[in-house]
Structure 1
Amino acid sequence: MTNTGRRTSSVTAQISRQARRFSTAIAPTLTKIEAVHILQKLDEVRVKMNDVAQLQGAIEHYVLRNSAQFDPVELDIINKEGYRIMQASVYPDEIILQEGSKKICEITLIDTEDTSSMLKIKHPVSGMTVYELRELGGTILIQTNTDELKGARVMTQTSGLSSLFLNCGCAFSKETWSVLTQDKIMANVRPNRSFWSENEIKIQWDPNCENELRLISLVFGIGQMVRVAFPQLFHIVKEFRQRNQ
């Protein structure tokens, strides 16, 4: 082999080694969502609509123009004191969750090819699905691209008290939801029971709840806001997906 051939082979091998090291270093950052540290400091948050006029605009656009396109509908994630800590922007094709200007994840609520899929939580850069919630036999399973959350699920409950709040106009659903891992409740998601905030949802966490379960339960709550609290908005989102599949 000539010196030129050996040099070419050496350079090729070096590039291959560097590419493998780069892939090993970068791949985890594109398949896992960074911890949302602000959530670890809280025991509960509420999700509320920022401006109902945005929802009304989306509905009017759909009814009057038969258009499933709309300007983003903003949802605020607020702490106990009422300060906004995060924001979710509902677009026709996805929901973007942000902390300030930092994009946390992308959320899709509809998979036209799989009706058991309730929502997907995607990486903010790669767009890869990191978590998926699937409804199977009355149980909502939490699936991930790793085994770290094996057995995690969401259970739905109803009670006479929840039905009473619904009938009194203090809640948008008689259902509440518990996020479990290894049969231990780590988070509760439920409508905020109040005359003045009946279309809000509250997420409460066990002190030992892991960060990724905190994020998943928050995203689930956001999904239920769109799906259950504001079914007109969910209908438009669903219509957009069907028209553009």
Structure 2
Amino acid sequence: MESNKNQVRRSSCNSTSNSRRQSLTAQLTRTARRFSAALAPQLIKLDPLPILQNYEMLNIRLTNVTQLQAAIQRYIIKNGVSFSPIDFEVTDENDMRVLRISLHPEEMILSEGTRKILSITFDDSDPDECGTVIATIKHPISGMRIFEFLKLPSSNIIQIASHVDQCDRCQIKLISNSIFNSFTICSCFFARTKWEFIKENKIYAFIRYNGTFFDENSLRLEWVPQADNELRLIVIAFGMTQMVRDVFPSLSHIINEYNQKKIGKFLYD
């Protein structure tokens, strides 16, 4: 009789304990869901950068050429694809620093002071019927893909594709200006390339080389006053991409080699 009572008590205790555990689990699950719901939107979009609204023109330039030379020298002599960070900066028309850029083998980071704004990875994925992804804009904390620069097949057009809402933001069109051609012939300008950011048949921004030999390794970014904050961030991100791909193509080659070796190591490990 006493044994039956003990079994009943143990059964009751176990039932109560299980019930408490289930209740605690449910509570933790609800808390995690609320936390995720509140946090997730902040991790799938870029935070606004209000300071950009104060400028209609910015420049991107290499900060220290010695860092670049060290990376290239290491690759040539030792076939090394890892390198110490290479610093760039975003400056205003008075050459005052506005933002800081740091290039690493695995990513390129845009920062305001100590706060990371976004990161860029260089994909150069195999082309398909939709085009070739040349670079991806990622959230600086979550690492989630926000936008892709997609080069369309057989064209000079790059589509800005969103991973968040599946809506295209605008197109980037590569153009050749006849005025730039004339100056290039007489060696007054570094290059004639210009990229226009077009949305609803209107040019909202453009990027071009900064012109003279004194600023030959820098890009000039301009946008209209109506350009929203997100578009201005995208323009800077594309400028960062072109600093690697177009201004300093040797860096693009080293990064591609780094990515290939990383893929090979993953496959054989």
* TM-score, L = length of structure 2: 0.84
User: SS of the residue aligned with 1:157?
Assistant: strand
Q: What is the deviation of 1:93?
A: 1.6
1:179 paired residue among 170, 173, 197: 197
Matched, 1:161 2:179: yes
User: SS of the residue aligned with 2:95?
Assistant: coil
Q: Matched residues in 2 for 1:26 and 1:180: separation?
A: 32
Q: List 4+ stretches of structure 1 deviating above 6 A.
A: none
Matched, 1:88 2:126: no
Q: What is the deviation of 1:108?
A: 1.0
1:220-231 → structure 2 map (5 Å cutoff): 220-231=238-249
1:1-245 → structure 2 map (5 Å cutoff): 3-113=16-126, 116-137=132-153, 138=155, 139-147=157-165, 150-245=168-263
- CA distance 1:69–1:166, change in 2 (3 Å): farther
User: SS of the residue aligned with 1:125?
Assistant: coil
Q: Matched residues in 1 for 2:211 and 2:167: separation?
A: 30
User: SS of the residue aligned with 1:106?
Assistant: strand
Give 1:204's aligned amino acid. E
2:191–2:211 CA contact under 8 A, matched in 1: no
Q: What is the deviation of 1:178?
A: 1.0
Per mean C-alpha deviation after superposition, the further-off stretch among 200-209 and 104-113 is 104-113
Identify the structure with the greater helix proportion. 2
Q: Matched residues in 2 for 1:87 and 1:165: separation?
A: 31
Larger RCO: 1 or 2 (CA < 8 Å, sep 6+):
1
- CA distance 1:63–1:129, change in 2 (3 Å): same
Identity %: 36
User: SS of the residue aligned with 2:42?
Assistant: helix
2:45–2:164 CA contact under 8 A, matched in 1: no
Q: What is the deviation of 1:35?
A: 0.8
Question: For the pair shown, which has the larger CA radius of gyration, 1 or 2?
Answer: 2
Per mean C-alpha deviation after superposition, the further-off stretch among 17-26 and 4-13 is 4-13
Per mean C-alpha deviation after superposition, the further-off stretch among 6-15 and 201-210 is 6-15
**Structure 2 residue ranges without an equivalent (≥5):** 1-11, 264-269
User: SS of the residue aligned with 1:22?
Assistant: helix
Deviations 1:94-127 (A, max 9, x none): 1111111111111112244557011101111111
Q: How many residues are paired up? A: 245
Q: What is the deviation of 1:174?
A: 2.1
Q: What is the deviation of 1:197?
A: 0.5
Q: What is the deviation of 1:149?
A: 5.1
1:123–1:129 CA contact under 8 A, matched in 2: yes
Q: Matched residues in 2 for 1:63 and 1:5: separation?
A: 65
1:149–1:181 CA contact under 8 A, matched in 2: no
**Structure 1 residue ranges without an equivalent (≥5):** none
Per mean C-alpha deviation after superposition, the further-off stretch among 102-111 and 80-89 is 102-111
1:46–1:202 CA contact under 8 A, matched in 2: yes
- CA distance 1:173–1:15, change in 2 (3 Å): same
Deviations 1:41-91 (A, max 9, x none): 111100111111111111111111111111111111101111011111111
1:112–1:242 CA contact under 8 A, matched in 2: no
Q: What is the deviation of 1:219?
A: 1.0
Deviations 1:183-219 (A, max 9, x none): 2211111111122111210100111111111011111
